[in-house]
Chains A and B, each alone.
Chain A
Amino acid sequence: MPSRESRIAIFTAFTLVCLAPAQAQSPYGIGRVATPAEIAGWNIDIDREGDNLPPGSGSVSHGREIFDQQCAACHGARGEGGIGDRLVGGQGTLATPKPVKTVGSYWPYAPTLFDYIRRAMPQNAPESLSNDDVYAVSAYILSLNGLLPADATLDAKTLSSIKMPNRGMFVGDPRPDVKNPACMRGC
């Protein structure tokens, strides 16, 4: 049997836990704490500012080699598209009757290129390229779109600093944007 003092201490501790802000509780006690190393291994998404881009770098010329080997079969020798999306060109077409959406013409943020290639490309072997290779391929695709010089090298800082041409063209959801008067008779 615990002493009266220790019972009071336990009661006080229990009360403090209950009175702590709701977000500090784990109501069900389910799951285990994720370690920093575990999080680091899985936390691969990169936002539009390029936060969380990894160390490393790659040149346009090295990117061309990787692209020829790993990407051209689906995306075309110069990114003109095939089984995979067209990646190059189309700038200035979005407001025309034949819009062409590519990395160069449509993608609003350059760091997304690194994020997507690393997580999902090449389609037959995603997450197989080194970070240096992903920087290089990103550099090559940006270069094909006239957004990087042919002798450029890309890293976290330079990728984050690229301003994509279509960046300012995205707007929020204004729907409902279409009104049907719901005529019942004599329509």
Chain B
Amino acid sequence: MSEPTDINEDMRTRRRFLREGGALVSGVVVAGGLVGRKASAATDTAENLPPNVPEWMKTPGDPMGSQPYGTPSSFEKAVVKNIAKDLPQYLSASGRTPLQDLDGIITPNGLFYERHHAGVPTIDPAQHRLMLHGLVNKPLIFDMDDIRRFPSESHIYFLECSGNPNYKKPYGKTASDLVGLLSCAEWTGVSLKLVLQEAGLQAGAKWVVAEGADAAALTRSVPIEKCLDDAMLVYSQNGERLRPQQGYPLRLLLPGFEGNMSVKWLRRLRVAAEPTYSREETSKYTDLMPDGSAREFTFYMEAKSIITRPSGGQQLSAPGFHEISGIAWSGRGKVKRVDVSVDDGKTWQEARLQEPVLTRALTRFRLPWHWDGKPVVIQSRAIDETAYVQPTLAELLAVRGEDYYYHNNAIWPWHIAADGEVTNALA
């Protein structure tokens, strides 16, 4: 479900071909312009470089309305979700954010990672309902207009799949292969606490069972403490309504908890005294230990970081100055510090954190670095406000074994060869 896999170059090429073909058919003026520019870029001549006047200054550009919903430059079309081509099936599957191609902390909605358990449903918001029942004084049904009438709030939180990555080889080649089931967005919705108060919690309310309106009717139980703390019912992401892949029209959002618990396409909340012990919290999303026991209800995503630039699959052009940049996060709160080592872990130095450092959001870190052109191993280590330190893979494996599967928050080092090629140092 979240096995590390190579980027699907074939699929990208095919998609690129289909997109260009479609563009040529659908818009003669626009498509002609794009292809022309591409062709001139590919010929690698100096005709658009100083002292010459570039061709795109000699003719008007695309007219207003060419793209009613804006899309990235055609030169960025390789930046897409990382979807493996060898998955056993594509209905219960995941697609990764191309972390190594992104800057800052906000994931564009079209590149937000996806994990669904029975495909992406198409839901008419006018026909969507949220039922709230169980240990409440007044069971209620809300339509989407009702949900949007509640006082709203917006917060930036990361979301990460619990299986990101596996503990077993083969390990992925890129940052996306390794931890691409991670994204971060500004979420807008209503505090779940307000909605629960609307129905009135009864004595003995200890859990809330959340159920999706997808074909898996995915079900997870959430402790009432989380529901009354920072849990949200979310309808917008980065300013626009949720994408279908992210639960349109309504999802649960549990900051810092493993991603699957933020139930998408949310249709029902049952307040209960006990968890429901659904398949997804017993046979899946439990952590098998070497002694045969298994940890259940392992909600939090612990502190973690990864260098995204330079990272696996990239190439340093030459020795000299290079900024090391990456992302850090913790389900238990704020990132307090990120250490970076550029000598295979022998010494570490503190990276600079980009403000604002937000609770349960990605934090961008940076370290100026001068590469001397010799082979080197670089890596980062996050420390959160609880003083927890991101562990090495060896430290994790020593306690959990390689069949633990979920919650792998290991430090991931990159090897840089003398020719500048960056590869996974543990692969």
Contact = CB atoms under 8 A, between A and B. Distances in A.
Contacts of A127: 217
Given A39-B139, A172-B295, A45 B347 contact: no
Contacts of B294: 94, 106, 166, 169-171
Interface string A160-174: 000000100111111
Contacts of A12: none
B287 to A, nearest CB: 9
A5 interface: no
B133 interface: yes
A101 interface: yes
A179 interface: yes
Interface stretch (B274-282, B356-364, B365-373): B274-282
A186 B385 CA distance: 25
A110 B153 CA distance: 41
Interface stretch (B74-82, B315-323, B396-404): B396-404
B198 A27 contact: yes
A23 B202 contact: yes
Interface stretch (A62-70, A113-121, A142-150, A151-159): A113-121
Contacts of A27: 194, 197-198
A109 B277 contact: yes
B171 interface: no
A106 B283 contact: yes
Nearest to A41: B131
Interface in B73-126: 88-89, 91-92, 117-118
13 contacts: A26-B198, A27-B194, A31-B142, A44-B217, A47-B277, A48-B277, A112-B278, A120-B215, A126-B118, A169-B292, A170-B296, A173-B300, A182-B348
> Shortest 10 CB-CB distances between A and B: which pairs?
A95-B292, A119-B217, A94-B292, A31-B140, A116-B279, A23-B200, A34-B139, A180-B389, A48-B277, A178-B391
Interface of A: 22-28, 30-34, 38-39, 42-48, 83, 94-95, 99, 101, 103, 106-109, 112, 115-116, 119-120, 123, 126-127, 166, 169-187
